[in-house]
Structures are given as structure tokens and as C-alpha cells.
Amino acid sequence: MCGLSGIYRWDGKAIPREQLKRMTDTLHHRGPDDEGFFTTVEPQVNVGLGFRRLSIIDLSGGHQPMTTAEGRCHIVFNGEIYNFQELRSDLEKRGRRFLTRSDTEVILHLYELYGPDCVAHLRGMFAFAIWDSKNKSIFLARDRIGKKPLYYAIQGRSIIFASEIKAIHACGEVEKRIRMESVPLYLTYQFIPDPRTIFENIFRLPPAHTLLLDATGNAHISQYWTLHRTPKHEMSLPDLERETVAQLREATKIRLISDVPLGAFLSGGIDSSAVVGWMAEAMKEPVKTFSIGFEEDDFSELQYARLVAERFKTDHHEFIVKPNTVDILPKLAWHYDQPFADPSALPSYYVAQETRKHVTVALNGDGGDEAFGGYLRYQADRIFMAFAKAPRPLRKSLAWAVAQFPAEMQSSRIVRRILRAGSAMGAEPLEFNFRLFSYFDQDSLMDLADGPLLDRAGGENVYNYFSALYGDTDSEDLMDRILSCDAEGYLPGCLLVKMDIASMANSLEARSPFLDHKVMEFAAKIRSRDKVRMTGGKWILKRALKGFLPDVILNRRKMGFGVPLAKWFKGPLAGFLEETILSPRASQRGYFKMGKVRNMVEEHKQGRRDHGYKLWALLMFELWHRSAMDGN
């Protein structure tokens, strides 16, 4: 894992090395082991590439920017290609000569042979930029699922790109202007969807996309892969179970290639537990596992992680997150570059920090919920699909009745989830899923927003983003459409951003077998009824892992990577919350009706409403503003 940056100009101006150095300096955390630069000096078109390296494979020979023996192309590459040895063998048979043992050089040779179609051959996670001196072009690419980030800004007759937004701003040519229409999306979804960012003139290249820019400034963005959900597999359940395990076991095995110490995040859930089990099968030494928990039992899974660690005889490590962590929140806001409201960013950062003390690479279970239907709201969606056959007036009456439920009886996490689902009973199935997912809906946004944000919030319904994703699949099945929405939106926009930032902030590489594109393709064609049933999710995966994982792991209630915000905002973090989101600085920004914000804080403190996630979103927005816009 690494950090890349670059500038491509078609105005004849040279690119100073000092400018690239400023950009790569902001990415030091992504690659503390090495840095490198490449620049050209030509009359019309010039390029500058910068790189920070975290050494994982070919420790002595993987310096970047890299070129081939022919010297035609230069690359900066962030990620890992898991089939690079197979690809290299084929390329050598075709007469290609290699100078290193790295996967980076394999990409270069593929590009020289296939051009932009080189991405079709790659199995792994990647973001890279290739300067083609023959065609005077720059080629940018991201992996299929969106594990590795790549941002860019087109300014006049140049394009500036990097692994993180802060590096683009460090070049000194891109002004910070807030894209106001991104704020309602952030408050609703907890992240800002591709290709938008919080800044007007900066974009994120979407997953499975490439960008080719030539010497005339002509830019061509294209999508090279789609996750198809039809036709469905026609095989018996036993065969489906065996193939599910075979696919995942192989995806885990190929992610064990490393020249540095390797371990795994272990939450105690099904996905990370299975990955640890397959690692234990393949490795000669005990797997180093790392778990994080809370003092609050409702949010801690440590007892289950210990059970799995004992089952597979791992070298196990644990860490407890406590609410006296306010000092880290401004640092998180700086790392994320944009407003980001998933509270599990906090424990993710800490587990990565603790893990990095022992290993440089960690496998995880990310992607299992999206691939095999694991989220609790999927179960609620399935139940509601049956209930939605009832007349809508009846369902609306039920939603109204739920809204009258006494606040003092909403202390239980399970009760709050049931009530949230009940309050959305008047919706249609796809909108019901949105209501379960969103922090603020359109009505609550309009109540909160003020000034120019109110104008933007009223301009487009925030539900339109999910609505468009629901239709972007080749399956008519409602659950398939919900799974597709998450795979294209929530997964790359939120979860993978969180893991990339949490791991890279600590110079740690994270690998995800469930996110292997072959696994994702296989899982997408499993019938949704074999993933999500009214009794729960991951139905086929649990059957496939019967006997491999302890029954208590397979049968226990899913917890997710939650944070006890409701309790923290009433107690140890209450003062910090109020001092931040009710401060004069926050008020003067003019985004929100401060009376409404104050009411939310009071309702939460007094236990009349649980506004924990909404208040977290407002807190992280203000901390981001102080970091990115105020320069704190």
C-alpha cells in the first residue's frame, strides 16, 4: 500500500519537483519506507509523478515511479495484484523482460501490450497512473470494487491527481470551494457519493473506471466492469455450499503473499472468523489476530473473538476503546479530507493502530455483508416485503402508532431498531430500506438546514441517489436491487473509504478476501432467498461454514461494528459535543438552524430521543470544517 500523486500538463509548462514533494509529503503516513519522483521537460506536454511507498513485496526492488526495460511508460501504483506471478509467467513466455520481482512492473508490461484494457487482466486492489511517453497520454485506473482511492482535479490545461485530497490541495493550484449540494448527501448517507466530493473542483474516480487524457486535453472516462446478478446459479445446495467455501478459501490463500509480517482483524463475526480459519489452514505459524471492544457489553464482541482465537490457536491481541478519545477526533477529520460520519471509523483506527505494532499486512472480513446479505436491515427488508402486501393506509397507521412509543422505553438498542423499522412501515419496500439506512431524511434536513444549505437541500430529494442505484442492476428481484445498491454505493463510498483511511493512517495494508471480484461475481448470482430470509441473513454462508466455525458464532445475533454514541453523548463526550457543534464558530458558518441543533442535544441528553448518529454527523462535519477550511 502506498500513496501516489501527479500532475499532467498540456500547456508546455514544466512541473517543479518541489511541487510534487509538497504533495507526497502529505501522504507520508501511506508510505513511510521510500519516496520517488519522475518529471519530464518537453515543449508541449509534461508530467510529474510522486510516490510514497509502504514496502510489502520485493522490498529492495519495488521503487517507484517505475519503468520497464524499454522505458516507454512510467507508473505510480497503490495496491496489490494477487495474480501477478501468473501474469508475469505468461508475459515472460511472450518475451517481456523484467527488472524487478514486483507486481507493479507486471502492470506496466500489460499496459504496453493491451493499453487501457490491461485492467481486465488484474485481480486485486489498485489505483494507478501511467505516463505513456509514446502517446503523450496519462492513464488513471481504479480497481473493480473500489478498495483503493484516486482523486483528481482538472484545472485549466492540467490534471492533478492523488490518493488523498489533501495532496491535491498541497500542489497549490486548486482552490478550496465547498460543493454545497454534497452536504445534504453527507448528512443523509454519512458519506459523499462518487464521483462528487465535498469540493466543487475535485472528483473521485469511481470504482471499475479508467480515465485517459491525451495531449490535446481530451479526457475519456469509461467503466470496464459491472457486477452482474443474472443468470442465477443452477446447482444443488450442497454444491453451492462447497463452491462458496472453495471460492473464499482460494481468495484468502492468494492474499497471504507478503515479504513482511501478516495478521488479521478478528471481530468475532462470521466473516472475519472464517478468514482467520482459512489463514490458519494455510499458514505454518499461528495467525496473529487483533480485536477491539468496548466497556459496554452491548457493543463489545471480544468474547466471541476469543472463542475463535482459541478454536484456531491464534496469537491473539485485544484493545478496549474508551470514551476519553476526543483528542483523536480532529486527527480523524484531517485524515478523511471530507466529512465522514460512520462512527466505526473510531474503533477501526484504533484496531489498525494496535495491529501495526505487530504486523504490516492484515486480512479482514470486509464485504461479507454485501456479498452474502448479512446486515440486520436486510432481514427487516425481507419481513417488510411480506408485510407490504397489506394496504398502505393500514401500514401508515401502524407507523403513526409506533411514533407515539414513550421515549423512556427506548433505551434498548434492539427496541430502537424495531421502532425505527416500525416508523417506516408506510413506505414502499425500496424506500423502507432507505429509511432504515439514512441519518437524516428529506423532511428532517429541511428542518435543520439554514441559509444557502436550505436552498440546496430543497433543490433535490436526497432519496434520488439510492433510487438511481436501485435501478442500476440487471435483476428485478427487490432484495437483489437492495444488495446492488449497497455494493455500488455504501460499500465503496463508506466502508472501503473507512478501512483505507484507518489502515493507511497507521501505515498498515488491509486485504479483504470477500472483496475479491471473483467472489463478488459468484455471490451476486446466488438467489437472494438463499442469502436473506425472514429468519436472518447469510443463510447459505452459514450452512457452508457449519462445522468449520463454532455454532455459537454462526447462530449469534449480528452486532456490527457499532459505537455506544447514545451513552457517550449523555456522559463523557457531552461537553465536547456541545462545545463543538454549539460553538460560535459553528453558528457563524450558517449551515444549520442552531435552535434545532440545540433542541437535538437537549432531547438526547434528557433521553427523550436517541439522536446519537445525527449528532455524530454534525460533530464530524464541524471538526472537518475546522481542519480543512479553517486550517486547524
Residues 520-573 have pLDDT tens digits of 999 999 999 999 999 999 999 999 999 999 999 999 887 666 778 888 899 889
Could you list the beta-strand ranges (E) of 457-534. 509-511
User: Is 444 a member of any domain?
Assistant: no
Section 589-608 average pLDDT: 94
Domain boundary among 223, 250, 267: 223
CA distances from 73 to 108, 137, 629 (A): 7, 10, 37
Residue 432: its pLDDT value, please? 87
Helix, strand and coil percent figures for the chain, each rounded to 5: 45, 15, 35
**Among residues 2, 73, 118, 171, which one is catalytic?**
2
Q: DSSP letter at 570?
A: T
Quickly state the pLDDT bin for 228 (edges 50, 70, 90). Answer: very high
Same domain, 206 and 277: no
Residue 575: its pLDDT value, please? 94
Range of the domain at 310: 237-293+301-320+340-373+482-555
Residues 102-127 have pLDDT tens digits of 999 999 999 999 999 999 999 999 99
Same domain, 258 and 354: yes
User: Is 212 a member of any domain?
Assistant: yes
* Three-state DSSP state, 525: coil
- The total of other beta-carbon atoms located within 10 Å of residue 113's CB is 13
Which of 317-326, 415-424, 513-522, 614-623 has the lowest average pLDDT?
415-424
Provide CB contacts within 8 A for 209, sequence distance 6+.
Answer: 141, 142, 221, 222, 223, 224
Residue 390: its pLDDT value, please? 72
Same domain, 365 and 255: yes
Residues 247-261 have pLDDT tens digits of 999 999 999 988 888
Same domain, 215 and 241: no
Quickly state the pLDDT bin for 446 (edges 50, 70, 90). Answer: very high
Residues 628, 589: Cα–Cα separation, whole Å: 14
Give the amino acid at 338: Q
Contact 581, 601 (CB under 8 A): yes
Which of 197-201, 416-420, 432-436 has the lowest average pLDDT?
416-420
Please state the separation of Cα 583 from the chain's center in Å: 31
What is the CATH number for 90? 3.60.20.10
Same domain, 77 and 141: yes
- The total of other beta-carbon atoms located within 10 Å of residue 513's CB is 28
Same domain, 42 and 147: yes
Could you list the beta-strand ranges (E) of 436-539. 509-511
Half-sphere exposure (CA, 13 Å, Cβ side) for 57? 21
For cell 454505493, name the residue: 489
Residue 233 pLDDT more than 90? yes
Give the amino acid at 316: H
Write down how long the chain is.
632
For cell 429509511, name the residue: 435
Residue 8: its pLDDT value, please? 98
Radius of gyration of the chain (CA): 24
Same domain, 273 and 346: yes
Give the amino acid at 630: D
* Three-state DSSP state, 323: coil
Residues 155, 251: Cα–Cα separation, whole Å: 40
Residue 541: its pLDDT value, please? 98
* Three-state DSSP state, 487: helix
The total domain count for the chain is 2
Nearest to 430, CA basis, from 391, 378, 493: 378
User: Is 569 a member of any domain?
Assistant: no
Strand order, beta sheet including 361-363: 315-321, 288-294, 262-265, 361-363, 509-511
Same domain, 281 and 193: no
Residue 295: its pLDDT value, please? 74
Nearest to 123, CA basis, from 78, 62, 80: 80
* Three-state DSSP state, 27: coil
Residues 218, 214: Cα–Cα separation, whole Å: 6
Sign (positive or negative) of CA dihedral 613, 181, 223, 227: positive
Give catalytic status of residue 2 as yes or no: yes
Give the pairing type, strands 509-511 and 361-363. parallel
Residues 347, 390: Cα–Cα separation, whole Å: 41
Domain boundary among 504, 528, 555: 555
Same domain, 148 and 255: no
What does the DSSP assignment read for 415-447?
A: HHHHHHHHHTTTS-HHHHHHHHH-SS-HHHHHH
CA distances from 342 to 127, 493, 596 (A): 24, 11, 22
Cell of 311: 478454536
- Bridge partners, residue 510, by sequence: 362
Domain boundary among 172, 189, 223: 223
User: Is 493 a member of any domain?
Assistant: yes
Give the amino acid at 74: H
Contact 305, 291 (CB under 8 A): yes
Maximum Cα–Cα distance for the chain, whole Å? 74
Nearest to 130, CA basis, from 196, 202, 54, 51: 51
Section 341-355 average pLDDT: 93
Residues 375-391 have pLDDT tens digits of 999 999 998 898 877 77
Cell of 628: 480543512
Same domain, 279 and 369: yes
User: Is 560 a member of any domain?
Assistant: no
Residues 84, 90: Cα–Cα separation, whole Å: 10
Cell of 579: 462545545
User: Is 48 a member of any domain?
Assistant: yes
Quickly state the pLDDT bin for 1 (edges 50, 70, 90). Answer: low
CA distances from 157 to 31, 99, 434, 438 (A): 29, 35, 41, 39
Cell of 472: 442500476
pTM score: 0.94
Contact 158, 7 (CB under 8 A): yes
Residue 402: its pLDDT value, please? 61
Provide CB contacts within 8 A for 462, sequence distance 6+.
Answer: 184, 185, 188, 189, 438, 440, 441, 442, 445
Same domain, 255 and 219: no
Cis before 231 (ω within 30) = yes
Query: Would you call 204 exposed, middle or buried from its count of C-beta atoms within 10 A (0-12, 13-18, 19+)?
Result: buried
Please state the separation of Cα 57 from the chain's center in Å: 24
Residue 158 pLDDT more than 90? yes
Residue ranges of alpha helices (H) inside 357-412 are 368-372, 376-387, 392-403
User: Is 393 a member of any domain?
Assistant: no
- Each as own residue / partner, the long-range contacts of residues 326-330 (CB below 8 Å, 24 or more positions apart, any chain) are 326/573, 326/576, 329/619, 329/620, 329/623, 330/623, 330/626, 330/627, 330/632
* Three-state DSSP state, 194: coil
Residue ranges of alpha helices (H) inside 115-175 are 165-170
What is the CATH number for 499? 3.40.50.620
Q: What percent of the chain has pLDDT over 70?
A: 92
- φ/ψ region of 532 (left if φ > 0, alpha if ψ in -120 to 50, else beta) reads beta
Same domain, 199 and 128: yes
Average per-residue pLDDT for the chain: 92
User: Is 135 a member of any domain?
Assistant: yes
Contact 291, 351 (CB under 8 A): yes
- The total of other beta-carbon atoms located within 10 Å of residue 219's CB is 14
Q: DSSP letter at 573?
A: T
